[in-house]
Structure formats: structure tokens, C-alpha cells
Amino acid sequence: MKRFFFSILIFLGIILLFVGLLVGYVFLKYRNWEKEFEDNIQSENIVDRNSIKEIDLSEKISDFSLSLADTQFLELDIQEVGSVFFTVLDSYFGEEVDLEQMYIKPAKNKWTVYVKVKYQGISLWVSTDINKDDIQSAQIYITEINVGPFSIGGYTNWIEMVNKGIGESIVTLNENGLVGRYIENIELLEKSIVLKGLRY
């Protein structure tokens, strides 16, 4: 009987050691990634509560919506797009999760959006990509969700849910004429996003 309990204790000890090593590995890998990532951040692409206070999109949106031209373009730079993303995400997170900062890494047809969130005293960088195929359409989509260097998209159905939400939002936007125009195309460029709108 003593030998049995001793074997159980050894087994539990090995399990705890394995879990401890795994947690330590995850922690160190995340911290190393975070240091390298933050060292390479370009300050002009950072969005936070202070920066969005200085941005007013009402005039641009009014010009886009009320223009008499059959085709009109709305171009938003990184800070302007970031202010929209930041405001929307902040409203979804609620009081328990604090959206501390956002960083946008733009490229043609693919933007990567990083958000630093704080929950119960722990801050983590979470990121996703925003993609646009090189065709004329208003459809954008994501393919990954990461926490630091770790991909979590394959362990949840979040990617499918987000893509479904994006698709339904664009359809709702167009069917209800919420911006006064039919959004025919969205372009992700290296320094801005451009919406092409047609008159109804």
C-alpha cells in the first residue's frame, strides 16, 4: 500500500513539474516576444485614448455621404482607422477588460492589428490580421488570432464568428444605406484604407 501511494506521489510530482515547465516556457517565450515587438513599434501607428480624442471624422464622412458624384471615395489614414477600431472594441470589452493601447501594422491587402488588453492586473498583446483579396469587393476577413506569439485561432471558433460578423455588418451597411452610399470596394493600402461608395 505504501508503495502504491509513493508511486501516486511520484506521478503527481512529475505532472506538476511538467505543468510548471510548460507555464515557465510560455511565460518566457511571451516576454521575449513582447520585448522584441515593443522595441520595433513605430510610434506613429500607436492608437490610445488620448490620440483618438484629437480625431474627428464627421466632416470626411459627411463629404462622402452627401457628395453628388456617382462614385465617391473615403480615405482613412492609420490613426483615423485606429480611432474607429479602438472605439468599437472598447465598447465591446466593457468594464472588466481595459483596452490600453492599439498598434496597427499596415501592408497592401493585409493589416495586422495588435491590441494590448488588461484583465485582472495582467496585460497581454492580442493580434489579428485583416485581409482583402485583390478583387473589387467590400469583403474583408481575418485568418488568425494570436496572443503574443501563440496562435489561438485553431482552438476556438472565433475566426469563423468574426468573419461572419464582418460579412453581416457590410450587408447591413449596404442594405440600410447607413452611410448614404453602397460600399462597392474596400482597399487596404500601405498607409490608409479606401472605401469606394456608389450612389443608391
For the chain, percent of residues with pLDDT exceeding 70: 96
| pLDDT, tens only, 122-147 | 999 999 999 999 999 999 999 999 99
Residues 184, 197: contact at Cβ < 8 Å? yes
Average pLDDT taken over every residue of the chain: 90
Q: How many CA atoms lie within 13 A of 67 on its CB side?
A: 19
pLDDT of residue 163: 93
